[in-house]
Structure 1
Amino acid sequence: MSTAEPWTIGRLLNWTTEYLESKGSEEARLEAQLLLGHALGCPKIQLYARFEEVVDEEKRAKFRELVKQRAAGKPVAYVLGTSEFYSMEFVVTPDVLIPRPETEHLVIETLDVLKGRSSEGSLSVLDIGTGSGIIAVTVAKQAPKASVLASDISEKALAVAKQNAEKHGVSERVEFVAGDLFSAVPDGSQFDVIVSNPPYIAQSERPMMDAHVIEHEPHVALFADDEGTAVLRRILDEATNYLKPGGWLLLEFSPMIAKRIAKLAKETGYYEQISIGKDLAKHDRFLIAKKSA
């Protein structure tokens, strides 16, 4: 391709897609769209309507810098500083995990449980290990009757979560507290639902993981003990102290430990109607359990 040709949006997308593919990207076209849309300040869907538009040098320079970061291995979400979740845009930084599509199903399950308790008037939700706040904020946005308390051990993560609550207009119904699991939850608090996407990757799984995840995402939010069950076990043991009668606990975990988590839930003697929910790939991904009477 001649360098004398004008750098149109279409040409930039095609060149960048090939370049990112050569760097090992599995979603090179989508990433090229996201990066160029960000550089131009427009949604990626608009790019194709502007395919023949020539991009000026200033915007190309900004785009080149974004592509350079991505080619060096930095995840697109961290390059852009945002990520989509539940059709909403969230601020993300290297202090928080990048939202995964699987967690959208945890939110859907949570909203379904809340609908079942909606006749009781106001609803209370506890989000343990909130990270960027995607669960707390999305639940508050989609369930106007719900008030949410969200905790995290990381002050830096909570700063990101607070930005997202403000961004989506739910700051008045989402309170953030710093502490390890339930340590920051006020004594005597009772919730209709407790939900968590806690650290659940076993230390032994590190060698099998994507290098970009290991290099860029916060380990405190990823890893548990050698089996991956330590944090989940603590939540199962302690959550019943904070659930209302008939309240529900929802947890996300790795499909590899699904049977163990269901067994642990039964062994506590605290829960009934224990079920395992599946993600889009039909993998066992969530525990849904009701506090025993």
Structure 2
Amino acid sequence: MTTLRDFLYQTRGSLIDADIPDPRLEAEMILSHELQVARHRLYAFQNDVLTSQQLGNLESIVARRIQREPLAYILGHREFYGVDLQVSSAVMVPRSETELLVERALLVCLERLAKDSLVVVDVGTGSGCIAINLAMHLPMCTVLAVDISAEALDVARVNVQNHHLGERITLMRGDLLENIDGPVDVLVGNLPYIPTGRLDQLSPEVRCEPRSALDGGCEGVDQLIRLLEQAATKLAPRATVLLEIDPGQSPVLEKTAMELFGDAVISIEQDLAGLDRLFVMEVSGNDL
């Protein structure tokens, strides 16, 4: 017989042997998923015995995880900014670093909503994690979510429907802003920004994610620069652009932005690790 406590202990050891970070947390997440019990309540039932079916399901999940398949893909969902989202191998797994982008976008919108109704565009929406959180917290905004991948948009559509935001979020297929007429008041994006040469150095889990969602070209800024170039004719007066970036990319992005938006105000904000993570640009109040 295998109790919940036995499973947690054994699985933690297996994950440690596979060099998987946060083994205790992942063991708890796996068990919580199978039993449909909140993680913090598992230990109240730690002496309960798992059924043979439950144990078989759990062993299958652990076997896949030991092969370094992302846990979010195995379980089929991931929490992001307090919202549970379905994910699949068609989209990048939402990360805690991107919550900084959501928080900053919410602040920008809330500061302006007293005076304006806003059009917010999330470029490279993937699972829809950014657009969904913005729509949930900003009911007066029009939110457009764009991705070039039809498969990614299918995942985003499920998440939008699950959170009853079908009338609040418009999903669009397109290459960055090519199908957006504008004017755009707030432009947010978590686009591919990993330099091509670093892709093979990423963890096995990250290498399972869509390459198109990771590969930013030689210096990692190809898509970011293309977006800024397209935005030059799409942004509203006093628009704000917020982009997640890789540390070290700010100089080339600042240079490009100043060439395109001469009197824009640009700042770079750090994540919790103190690394440059967010490119913020406030454009002029004059018509572009």
Instruction: Please name the residue that 1:245 is paired with.
Output: 237
2:234 is the alignment partner of 1:230: no
Write out per-residue CA displacement over residues 38-95 of structure 1, whole angstroms, 9 at most, x where no aligned residue: 1112221221111111111111111111111111111100000001100111100000
Segments of 5+ residues of structure 1 without an aligned counterpart are 1-5
How high is the TM-score relative to the length of structure 2? 0.96
Q: How does 1:1-293 map to 2 (within 5 A)?
A: 6-185=1-180, 187=181, 189-214=182-207, 216-270=208-262, 272-292=264-284, 293=286
Q: C-alpha distance in 1, partners of 2:82/2:178?
A: 32
| Equivalent residues of 1:200, 1:232 under 8 A apart | yes
Q: C-alpha distance in 2, partners of 1:32/1:211?
A: 19
Q: CA deviation at 1:258?
A: 2.1
Q: Which amino acid aligns with 1:58?
A: Q
- What is the root-mean-square deviation of aligned Cα atoms in Å? 1.2
Summarize the Cα distance change of 1:271–1:95 in structure 2 as closer, same or farther, 3 Å threshold. Answer: farther
| Equivalent residues of 1:240, 1:291 under 8 A apart | no
Q: C-alpha distance in 1, partners of 2:223/2:166?
A: 28
| Equivalent residues of 2:232, 2:261 under 8 A apart | no
Percent identical: 36
| Equivalent residues of 1:199, 1:222 under 8 A apart | yes
| Equivalent residues of 1:114, 1:123 under 8 A apart | yes
Q: CA deviation at 1:247?
A: 1.0
Q: Which amino acid aligns with 1:138?
A: N
| Equivalent residues of 1:262, 1:276 under 8 A apart | no
Q: C-alpha distance in 1, partners of 2:262/2:108?
A: 18
| Equivalent residues of 1:199, 1:231 under 8 A apart | yes
Q: CA deviation at 1:173?
A: 0.7
Q: CA deviation at 1:167?
A: 1.4
Superposed structure 1 runs of 4+ greater than 3 Å apart: none
Q: CA deviation at 1:157?
A: 0.1
Structure 2 counterpart SS, 1:175: strand
Q: CA deviation at 1:123?
A: 2.0
Q: C-alpha distance in 2, partners of 1:271/1:148?
A: 27
Q: C-alpha distance in 1, partners of 2:263/2:54?
A: 56
Q: C-alpha distance in 2, partners of 1:112/1:286?
A: 14
> Which of the two has greater helix per residue?
1
Summarize the Cα distance change of 1:146–1:271 in structure 2 as closer, same or farther, 3 Å threshold. Answer: farther
Q: C-alpha distance in 1, partners of 2:263/2:230?
A: 12
Q: C-alpha distance in 2, partners of 1:76/1:19?
A: 14
Write out per-residue CA displacement over residues 112-158 of structure 1, whole angstroms, 9 at most, x where no aligned residue: 10011111242210111101100100100111111211110000000
Q: Which amino acid aligns with 2:200?
A: P
| Equivalent residues of 1:165, 1:171 under 8 A apart | yes
Q: CA deviation at 1:270?
A: 4.7
Segments of 5+ residues of structure 2 without an aligned counterpart are none
Higher deviation after alignment, 250-259 or 268-277: 268-277
Structure 2 counterpart SS, 1:193: strand
Q: Which amino acid aligns with 2:153?
A: L
Higher deviation after alignment, 93-102 or 55-64: 55-64
How high is the TM-score relative to the length of structure 1? 0.94
| Equivalent residues of 2:178, 2:230 under 8 A apart | no
